[in-house]
Amino acid sequence: MDNTTAVGINGPMKGVRVLDWTMYQFGPVAASMMGDMGADVIKIESLDGDIGRAVARMSSRPIGLEGGRNAYFETCNRNKRGIAVDLKTAEGRELVHKLVESSDVFIENYRQGVPERLEMDYDSLKKINPKLIYASGTGYGPLGPDSAKPSLDGCGQARSGLMMSATQQSQTEPSYVAGAVSDQMGGIILCLGVISALYAREQSGVGQRVDVSHLSSTMWLQGLAVSMQLLSGYHYRSTDRKNPLNPLVNAYECADGRWIQFMSAQFQRYWPDFATALGISDLIDDPIVGDIKGMAAGSPELTKIIADRFKTKTVDEWIDIFNQYKDLIFAKVQSVEELENDPQVIANNYITNFDHPVIGEVKMCSFPVNFSETPAGIWKEAPELGQDTESILIDEMGYSWDDITKLQESGSIL
C-alpha cells in the first residue's frame, strides 16, 4: 500500500501506514521507531487520551514541560499524527475499520479481551484487510496461565531475571534498571517483528499476527546469559568487583570518585600493557597472577593492588595514560546527563536537535541506526489529543464537515 501522506522524511519505511492503538511506552515506542523511519503513524486514542499524557513524574522526578506537555509522552510518541475516537461507539469502530482498509500495520498493547470486546482484535481486522500486520505487546505472552495478566515495566524486569542480573552479589535487595528498559526493549523487539512480517508479506502477500511480551523481549536482552545457563548450567550474575575471575574485566574507582570500566577480556594479551600503564610492571610475572593467566580463579590480592592504584589519579588522568596503549579496551562510566557532551555522541548525531512548536529547540535521542540512503529522523512532535482527527477524516477518508459534526455530537470523536 502506498501511504505517503504527511510524512516529513524519506526514511526506509516511507509509504507504510501504521495504526498505533497503544498506551504508555511498550507499544508507543515501537510505533515511534517506525515513524522515525518514515512510516505514516496515526495514533488512535480514547477521548480522554493515552494515560501516558498524565505521567507527571518518573523515578520521583518531575518531567512536565511547557504547554502541558511531558517528556515521557513526547519521547514515546514523536513522529505521529493523532486522532481521538470513542471505540465504544459503533461509529467510532467503523471509523477505525475504514482506516484499517488502507493501512499496513495495526499495533495494540491492551489486556486480553479488550480488543475482542471492541472489535479491534486480529480476527476482526484481518477480515477487513487480510494483508494487515497485527502486532500485540503483552506482559507474558499470548498463551499460558498468566497470559491475561496485566504488566508494566518493573514486572518485565522482575520476571525475566533482569533485576537479579543487575544486582551485585553483595546486595540483598534486587536492583531496578532505570528508564523502563523492559518497556523500551519490548518496543524495539515489537518493531523488529513488524518489519520482519512486512518483509514476509512482500514474499507471500499474506499478513499475520506478531506477538511480543515483556517476558520474551527482556529475556532476549539477556539472551547470552539465559542460553549459557540452559546450555552449561552456569549461573550468569554480576561480577564481584573485589574478586573478579579476571581483574581486567572490572570497574575501578578513581581519585575523583569517578569510575572506569575495563573489558580487556584476554588476560595474557592485555596484562603486560595494563600493568605497565598502571605502574605495577614489577607484577607482570609475579606468582600472584599465575592462576589468572590460566583463567582458573581470580585474585583478591591482585585486584586490591589494582584498585588502590586507580585511586591515585583522576579518571581523566588514567584515560590519558591508557589511551597510549591502543589495544586496551575500557570506557569511562558516564551518567545519562553526560551523553550530550560526549564527542562520539556528537560526531555520530546520536542526539538530535529538534524545533518543537510548543517547547522550542530541544534535544532528543536519535534513532539508533544510520542509513546511508534513507536516513531516519525526527520530523514531528507528539500530537496533541485528537490533533489530526478532522484532517484525516476529511482529506484522506472522504468524510464531510456534516459527518464530522454528527460524529462529534454522538460522542464518537472529539
Are both 118 and 257 inside the same structural domain? no
Q: Please tell me the total count of domains within the chain.
A: 2
The Cα 345–Cα 340 span in angstroms is 7
Are both 324 and 199 inside the same structural domain? no
Are both 297 and 183 inside the same structural domain? no
- Which of 310, 333, 356 delimits the end of a domain? 333
CATH at residue 132? 3.40.50.10540
Are both 168 and 309 inside the same structural domain? no
Query: Of 221, 151, 210, 148, whose CA–CA distance to 184 is shortest?
Result: 221
Are both 61 and 138 inside the same structural domain? yes
State the average pLDDT over residues 238-266.
92
Residue 100: domain span: 17-225+371-410
Q: How, if at all, do strands 61-62 and 57-58 pair?
A: antiparallel
* Helices and strands counted in the chain (H then E): 17, 13
Are both 406 and 268 inside the same structural domain? no
CB 48 within 8 A of CB 70: no
Q: For 228, how many CA atoms within 13 A lie in the half-sphere containing its CB?
A: 8
State the average pLDDT over residues 357-383.
93
* Residue 35 predicted with pLDDT over 90: yes
pLDDT > 70 fraction of the chain, expressed in percent and rounded: 97
- Domain-embedded: residue 234: no
- Which of 281, 305, 333 delimits the end of a domain? 333
Are both 123 and 263 inside the same structural domain? no
- Domain-embedded: residue 347: no
- Domain-embedded: residue 12: no
Q: Long-range contacts made by residues 258-262, C-beta under 8 angstroms, separation at least 24? A: 258/314, 258/315, 258/332, 258/333, 259/315, 259/332, 259/333, 260/310, 260/315, 260/318, 260/319, 260/330, 260/331, 260/332, 260/333, 261/330, 261/331, 261/332, 261/333, 262/328, 262/329, 262/330
Q: What is the pLDDT of residues 194-211, one digit of tens each?
A: 999 999 999 999 999 999
- Domain-embedded: residue 361: no
Query: Of 280, 273, 269, 279, whose CA–CA distance to 317 is shortest?
Result: 279
Residue 349 has a pLDDT of 94
State the average pLDDT over residues 218-242.
88
Are both 298 and 385 inside the same structural domain? no
Largest CA distance in the chain: 88
- Domain-embedded: residue 4: no
- Domain-embedded: residue 365: no
Residue 234 has a pLDDT of 79
The Cα 368–Cα 33 span in angstroms is 9
- Domain-embedded: residue 265: yes
**Quick one: pLDDT band at residue 4, thresholds 50, 70, 90?**
very low
- Domain-embedded: residue 266: yes
Are both 149 and 78 inside the same structural domain? yes
| DSSP state, residue 360 | E
Query: Of 185, 261, 245, whose CA–CA distance to 33 is shortest?
Result: 185
- Which of 305, 333, 361 delimits the end of a domain? 333
Q: What is the pLDDT of residues 50-101, one digit of tens each?
A: 998 988 776 667 777 777 888 899 999 999 999 999 999 999 999 999 999 9
Are both 264 and 399 inside the same structural domain? no
CATH at residue 311? 3.30.1540.10
Are both 216 and 257 inside the same structural domain? no
